[in-house]
């Protein structure tokens, strides 16, 4: 049995979608970031970095979305979530995921998490002002060719599509009009039409957050 | 034949070391960041993102260090640069590389590249001041357990060791005393004793930069 720690409206959605896609048997454990659960002593035992997603397997824990997506693709290879036997296409898959993780997600994070990189609130404000520009630059690169189309890798659907959807859902909150990017916009619409995607997002959104005073982390059967 | 675009004193060192380790036949192409070659029209044709490393293969280009390291490990599997047949240990490998790419390197980048995330020089100064703290926090996590020891993955040397060395070499410039982290410090010393490491770093450092007015990118046989 796998235990999957996630938080709604975070990048853990990509792994959540992939877990359901491959048909894994797993329990979900919701981490309430609005209550700072990610820094609770309970959660820090699971991940000392205080971040989601975390997948606890029989062998140990796994963190970082690019690693998790490839792990699920390799462990559940019948689901074909990545071109694991083609070194070049697997590199394209990993490169795209790495770009989302280290450039796109980071550009986005400067809207709410400036404290990671500066102590002065005036610097956080400056970072926040730049987010619409820096995030739009990232999606411009994706629009112009990093996404091969119709899916990230071309004709073959992969876990990178779940990851791209996860981040493209944040565009409006980041002050970016998705209509600037018709291919990304079209990808997002097609992804949102997939039943599995609707179901997982709805599950994440509908679960009540833990009431104040109850245990910080609530275990929910997927 | 592979063409490898790199710049000295950047994260491309990790891939350079891995290329030599696996015995790949490749040409190196040096990109002079001090002359802004990464934004030249020639280089932007190679990588529209204007960043190194880039490996141009028979199938197409590959960017992003975590993707490159796994590609080399899979293509040259006899060199055993990653536990490619063990999904859990490969996830540990990828997770570590992703953390270096998206957290450690990003913390470091706020010293010189604040313009990516804010427009005001005062914000860049604020970011620069925080780098010794944020980078030290990252290496504290590596010291406390992310690096299993004696190598990143434990007893098995992997490309993650080349990547960790690449970033731990920046500690002093980032205002962090490596002596705070005896395990990281010991790892760095052992890595610097490897003949291949000495040779590649020496090659990167000794090649003369392109003279002003000559072609922006100079091709050098490895």
Instruction: Report pLDDT digits (tens) over B174-193.
Output: 999 999 999 999 999 999 99
Q: How far apart are CA B119 and CA A127, in angstroms?
A: 8
Residues 6+ apart with CB under 8 A from A169: A13, A188
Greatest Cα pair distance, chain B, in angstroms, is 51
Q: How far is CA B51 from CA A142, B11, B32, in A?
A: 15, 10, 11
The order of strands in the sheet holding B54-56 is B61-63, B54-56, B2-6, B26-31, B217-221
What is the band of B210 on the pLDDT scale with cuts at 50, 70, 90? very low
Residues across chain A: 222
Cβ atoms A78, B106 nearer than 8 A = no
The structure tokens listed for B9 are 């004193």
Asked whether the predicted pLDDT for residue B213 surpasses 50, the reply is no
Q: Which residues of A touch B69 (CB under 8 A)?
A: none
Chain A, residues 139-158, CB within 8 A of chain B, namely 141, 144-145
Identify which of B59, B98, B141 has the shortest CB distance to residue A98. Answer: B98
What is the band of B198 on the pLDDT scale with cuts at 50, 70, 90? very high
pTM recorded for the entire structure:
0.94
Cβ atoms B76, B68 nearer than 8 A = no
Question: What DSSP character marks residue A155?
Answer: S
Q: How far apart are CA A90 and CA A6, in angstroms?
A: 26
Q: Tell me if chain B has a CB within 8 Å of the CB of A105.
A: yes
Burial class for A189, CB neighbours closer than 10 Å (0-12, 13-18, 19+):
exposed
Mean pLDDT of A102-125: 98
CB–CB of A87 and B67 under 8 A? no
Give the residue from chain B lying closest to A137, CA to CA: B49
Torsion of CA B29, B116, A65, A166, to 10 degrees: -120
B55-91 pLDDT, tens digit per residue, is 999 999 999 999 999 999 999 999 999 999 999 999 9
Q: Which residues of B touch A65 (CB under 8 A)?
A: 98
Identify which of B67, B92, B144 has the shortest CB distance to residue A91. Answer: B67
Q: Tell me if chain A has a CB within 8 Å of the CB of B64.
A: yes
Which one, of B104, B79, B95, lies nearest residue B156 by Cα? B79
Residues 6+ apart with CB under 8 A from A219: A27, A28, A29
Query: How close A92 gets to chain B, by Cα (Å)?
Result: 7
Which one, of A185, A140, A135, lies nearest residue A165 by Cα? A185
**pLDDT, position A74:** 98
3-class state of residue B182 by DSSP = helix
CA angle at residue B185 from B181 to B189, to 5 degrees?
A: 175
Greatest Cα pair distance, chain A, in angstroms, is 51
What is the band of B12 on the pLDDT scale with cuts at 50, 70, 90? very high
Q: How far apart are CA B88 and CA B111, in angstroms?
A: 34
Residues 6+ apart with CB under 8 A from B15: B4, B6, B53, B55, B65, B68, B69, B72
CB–CB of A91 and B71 under 8 A? yes
A149-183 pLDDT, tens digit per residue, is 999 999 999 999 999 999 999 999 999 999 999 99
CB–CB of A105 and B106 under 8 A? no
Which one, of A49, A27, A68, A46, lies nearest residue A166 by Cα? A68
Q: Which residues of B touch A63 (CB under 8 A)?
A: 95, 99
Question: What DSSP character marks residue B215?
Answer: -
Residues 6+ apart with CB under 8 A from B3: B26, B27, B29, B55, B56
CB–CB of B74 and A90 under 8 A? yes
B27 beta partners: B3, B221
Q: What is the CA radius of gyration of chain B?
A: 17
Cβ atoms B84, B74 nearer than 8 A = yes
Identify which of A62, A101, A117 has the shortest CB distance to residue B130. Answer: A117
CB–CB of A66 and B94 under 8 A? yes
CB–CB of A118 and B99 under 8 A? no
A56-81 pLDDT, tens digit per residue, is 999 999 999 999 999 999 999 999 99
Q: How far apart are CA B134 and CA B104, in angstroms?
A: 8
* H helix and E strand count, chain B: 9, 5
Query: Look-up: residue for tokens 């030249």?
Result: B40
**pLDDT, position B128:** 98
Q: How far apart are CA B98 and CA B65, in angstroms?
A: 9
Cβ atoms B20, B28 nearer than 8 A = no
């Amino acid at each position: 049995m796998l235990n999957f720690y996630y938080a709604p409206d975070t990048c853990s959605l990509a792994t959540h979608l992939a877990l359901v896609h491959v048909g894994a048997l797993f329990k979900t454990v919701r981490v309430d970031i609005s209550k700072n659960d990610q820094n609770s002593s309970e959660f820090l035992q699971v991940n000392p970095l205080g971040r989601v997603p975390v997948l606890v397997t029989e062998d140990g824990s796994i963190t970082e979305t690019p690693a998790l997506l490839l792990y699920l693709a390799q462990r559940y290879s019948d689901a074909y979530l990545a071109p694991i036997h083609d070194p070049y296409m697997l590199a394209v898959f990993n490169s795209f995921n790495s770009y989302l993780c280290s450039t796109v997600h980071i550009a986005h994070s400067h809207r709410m998490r400036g404290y990671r990189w500066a102590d002065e609130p005036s610097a956080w404000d400056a970072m926040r002002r730049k987010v619409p520009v820096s995030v739009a630059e990232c999606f411009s690169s994706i629009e112009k060719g990093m996404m091969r189309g119709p899916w990230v890798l071309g004709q073959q659907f992969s876990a990178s599509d779940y990851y791209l959807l996860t981040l493209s859902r944040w565009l409006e909150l980041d002050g970016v009009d998705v209509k600037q990017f018709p291919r990304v916009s079209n990808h997002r619409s097609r992804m949102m039409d997939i039943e599995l995607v609707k179901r997982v997002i709805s599950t994440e959104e509908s679960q009540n957050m833990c009431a104040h005073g109850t245990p910080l982390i609530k275990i929910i059967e997927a």
